[in-house]
């Protein structure tokens, strides 16, 4: 069966991978769609993301929806034939962070398609995958698989918004209008933000942010842009570029909160850290998510506007062009790999 495997930086292959068999407590899932994430693109281009480096071949992908095929042993979970989204994380449950209720920063989590551990946890970009049964979530009524493929990145956005604190009635700045930034816009609106301003270098990306509900669009490379706000209440940095964080620190009001969500490059980042002191700004990181996944599915079921953020669906055999497309934000927002309809059970 076809799988989308990264071997090293620049070496992405669609190859025949062995069909997995579920063990006790595990489920076999026929994957329908897999969303191409910024981290997948980083593995492809750079052989790593943040501090995680590729050390062996790895199936990419952690934004996965499909159909339950079977369980390895009788397990509580959606019945065979049910459309499901796969929660990509299995935290260890025993480390200090898990004990503290911060399972998203578990020090020993297993996350689909991540090189954080060695051996790496293989990902979901294959026609069939085996995952712990507890990671399956049945899709709510009325939610199709195409839109449901946004559940994982929307969960990331919901977690960032939660980290930002109460947004009701606030003016929120989002730097970066990639898929995550756009989903942060939607999450902030759902959390009651009164006004959302988004910055990006690319007009096409800003148009996706508008579709996600942004009120004001700003060209990040134009200091004279008349839409640039004088001040915002809260900022979420979603570009993963230090200049974005710098912008957030300069525009957030005194005593405001800045959430760093974009994955900054390895090593030191230049930004105006003195503003943290003189304006008593709170800088908070946001990493992945935990319980937000169920809320993401409910939000997706209720809001057809999310469909606009899925800009292309590409057959897995053309994964290379899908990655090229996803990496070109002037032509795409979220790109899905299509593994084909599940065969009749
Ligand atoms: Zn843990």
- At residue 112, the 3 state secondary structure works out as coil
Which residue, 198, 165, 171, is CA-closest to 183?
A: 198
How remote is the CA of residue 198 from the centroid of ligand 1, in Å? 34
Going from the C-alpha of 217 to that of each of 206, 241, 257, the distances in angstroms are: 6, 18, 21
Q: Name which of 46-60, 185-199, 279-293 the model is least confident about.
A: 46-60
Q: Band of the pLDDT at 273, cuts 50, 70, 90? A: very high
**Which is it for the CA torsion 73, 89, 6, 30, positive or negative?**
positive
Tell me how many degrees the CA angle 235-254-196 measures, rounded to the nearest 5: 30
How remote is the CA of residue 224 from the centroid of ligand 1, in Å? 47
How remote is the CA of residue 319 from the centroid of ligand 1, in Å? 33
Q: Could you tell me the residue ranges of all domains in the chain?
A: 2-138+303-338, 154-285
How remote is the CA of residue 17 from the centroid of ligand 1, in Å? 30
Which residues have their alpha-adjacent CB atom under 5 A from ion ligand 1? 91-92, 95, 98, 106
Which CATH superfamily does the domain covering 154-285 fall into? NAD(P)-binding Rossmann-like Domain (3.40.50.720)
Q: Tell me: pLDDT of 54 over 80.
A: yes
Of the options 3.40.50.150, 1.10.645.10, 3.90.180.10, 3.40.50.720, the CATH number for the domain spanning 2-138+303-338: 3.90.180.10
Strands 171-175 and 232-237: parallel
Tens-digit pLDDT profile for residues 232-254? 999 999 999 999 999 999 999 99
How remote is the CA of residue 59 from the centroid of ligand 1, in Å? 23
How remote is the CA of residue 214 from the centroid of ligand 1, in Å? 36
Interatomic CA distance for residues 26 and 72, integer angstroms: 5
Q: Band of the pLDDT at 345, cuts 50, 70, 90? A: very low
Interatomic CA distance for residues 247 and 283, integer angstroms: 13
Tell me how many degrees the CA angle 105-150-76 measures, rounded to the nearest 5: 70
How remote is the CA of residue 291 from the centroid of ligand 1, in Å? 15
Tens-digit pLDDT profile for residues 142-171? 999 999 999 999 999 999 999 999 999 999
Tens-digit pLDDT profile for residues 73-126? 888 899 999 999 999 999 999 999 999 999 999 999 999 999 999 999 999 999
Which residue, 315, 331, 318, 323, is CA-closest to 33?
A: 315
How remote is the CA of residue 132 from the centroid of ligand 1, in Å? 16
How remote is the CA of residue 152 from the centroid of ligand 1, in Å? 20
How remote is the CA of residue 97 from the centroid of ligand 1, in Å? 6
Query: DSSP character for 281?
Result: -
Q: Tell me: pLDDT of 343 over 70.
A: no
Q: Tell me: pLDDT of 135 over 50.
A: yes
């Amino acid at each position: 069966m076809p799988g989308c495997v990264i071997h090293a930086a620049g070496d992405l292959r669609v190859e025949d991978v062995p069909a997995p068999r579920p063990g006790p407590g595990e489920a076999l899932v026929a994957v329908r769609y897999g969303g191409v994430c910024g981290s997948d693109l980083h593995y492809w281009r750079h052989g790593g993301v943040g501090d995680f480096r590729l050390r062996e071949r790895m199936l990419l992908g952690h934004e996965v929806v499909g159909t339950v095929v079977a369980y390895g042993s009788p397990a509580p979970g959606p019945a065979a034939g049910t459309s499901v989204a796969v929660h990509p994380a299995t935290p260890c449950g025993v480390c200090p962070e898990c004990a503290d209720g911060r399972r998203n920063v578990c020090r020993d989590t297993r996350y689909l398609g991540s090189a954080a551990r060695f051996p790496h946890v293989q990902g979901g970009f294959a026609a069939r995958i085996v995952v712990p049964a507890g990671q399956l979530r049945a899709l709510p009524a009325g939610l199709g698989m195409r839109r449901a493929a946004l559940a994982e990145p929307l969960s990331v956005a919901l977690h960032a918004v939660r980290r930002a604190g109460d947004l009701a009635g606030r003016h929120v700045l989002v730097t970066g209008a990639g898929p995550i930034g756009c989903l942060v816009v939607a999450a902030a609106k759902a959390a009651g933000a009164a006004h959302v301003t988004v910055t990006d270098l690319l007009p096409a990306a800003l148009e996706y942010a508008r579709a996600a509900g942004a009120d004001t669009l700003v060209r990040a490379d134009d200091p004279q842009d008349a839409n640039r706000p004088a001040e915002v209440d809260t900022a979420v940095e979603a570009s993963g570029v230090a200049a974005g964080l710098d912008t957030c620190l300069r525009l957030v009001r005194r005593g405001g909160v800045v959430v760093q969500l974009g994955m900054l490059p390895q090593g030191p980042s230049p930004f105006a850290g003195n503003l943290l002191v003189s304006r008593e700004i709170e800088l908070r990181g946001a990493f992945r998510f935990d319980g937000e996944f169920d809320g993401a599915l409910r939000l997706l079921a209720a809001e057809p506007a999310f469909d606009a953020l899925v800009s292309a669906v590409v057959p897995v055999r053309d994964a290379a062009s899908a990655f090229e497309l996803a990496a070109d934000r002037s032509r795409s927002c979220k790109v899905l790999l299509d593994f084909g309809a599940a065969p009749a059970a």
